[in-house]
Amino acid sequence: MALYLLVDAHEPTRKILQRKLLERNQEVLEAESAEEALSVLEVQDVDVIMTELRLPQLDGVELLKKVTQLYPLTKQIVLTDYMQLHTLLAAVNSGNISRLMTKPLKIDETILRIMEKVGAEVVETKHRKKNIGVMFNGILTNANRPYCLFFEDGTIVGRRALEIPNQEAPDDEMNGLHRFEFPTQFGTYILYQSMNGTVMKHV
């Protein structure tokens, strides 16, 4: 099951898509503007955002840019009747777009399967990312040294007896604190580890 965010100023379009996805046991949220969508994204772990390009105030292209920057694992589906080529190219170049669909859209079995496939891919990716964090924590716990592990966005993945203010803190080799980076296909993990085995608070 994936969580979809439908962004369209046209309420009937949102309601039709919502009903079809709910019938297939998916979770669905709605927004009628880019600003409302960004507010939803701040508090909900959205897997797929489906947006019209023509939105009031902040347009769909700018919305997709922000989503790509802030929520890189969230997939994007563009659903629009706005067919100016330069706008479509801007959307494709600025976002993490999985599908581009044109209105009027016949929401049949094929379209719904495409939407579900995109959602399932995101859920699987997030699951694999979580497993990498679990693996790192297991290895570090067994090493029996104080550590603090961040993801690149500043999220704390795990820690043991070591407090670090953020993922930008420098090494402190004089006190035995070392900083390591581990790139993965999902992003970079940043590890701070006390090599002398003592409990530390680094501010």
pLDDT per residue as tens digits for the range 50-79? 999 889 989 888 999 999 999 989 999 998
**Same domain? 115 vs 176:** no
**Same domain? 81 vs 11:** yes
Q: How many domains does the chain have?
A: 2
CA distance 201 to 146: 10
**Same domain? 120 vs 155:** no
Q: How far is CA 187 from the centre of its chain?
A: 11
- Entry pTM: 0.82
Looking at the chain, list the stretches that DSSP marks H as alpha helix, in order from N- to C-terminal side: 11-23, 34-43, 60-70, 85-94, 109-143
pLDDT at 131 over 80: yes
**Same domain? 120 vs 149:** no
As a whole number of Å, the CA-based R_g of the chain is: 21
Q: Which of 75, 102, 128 is the last residue of a domain?
A: 128
Which residue type is seen at 148?
A: C
pLDDT at 167 over 70: yes
Domain that holds residue 10: 3-128
Q: Strand order in 27-31's β-sheet?
A: 27-31, 3-7, 48-51, 75-80, 97-102
**Same domain? 108 vs 195:** no
Task: Answer yes or no: are the C-beta atoms of 195 and 171 closer than 8 Å.
Answer: no
**Same domain? 82 vs 155:** no
Task: Answer yes or no: are the C-beta atoms of 94 and 66 closer than 8 Å.
Answer: no
Residue-averaged pLDDT of the chain:
89
CA distance 197 to 203: 18
Question: What's the pLDDT tens digit per position in 14-58?
Answer: 999 999 999 999 999 999 999 999 999 999 999 999 999 889 989
The DSSP bridge pattern shows strands 147-151 and 156-160 to be: antiparallel
13-21 contacts at long range (C-beta below 8 A, 24 or more positions apart)? 13/52, 13/79, 13/103, 16/107, 17/50, 17/79, 17/107, 20/107, 20/112, 21/112, 21/115
Residue 83 — very low, low, confident or very high, per pLDDT cuts 50/70/90? low
**Same domain? 67 vs 94:** yes
As given in the structure block, the two tokens for residue 123 are 């859920």
**Same domain? 111 vs 186:** no
In a domain, 139, yes or no: no
Task: Answer yes or no: are the C-beta atoms of 123 and 1 closer than 8 Å.
Answer: yes
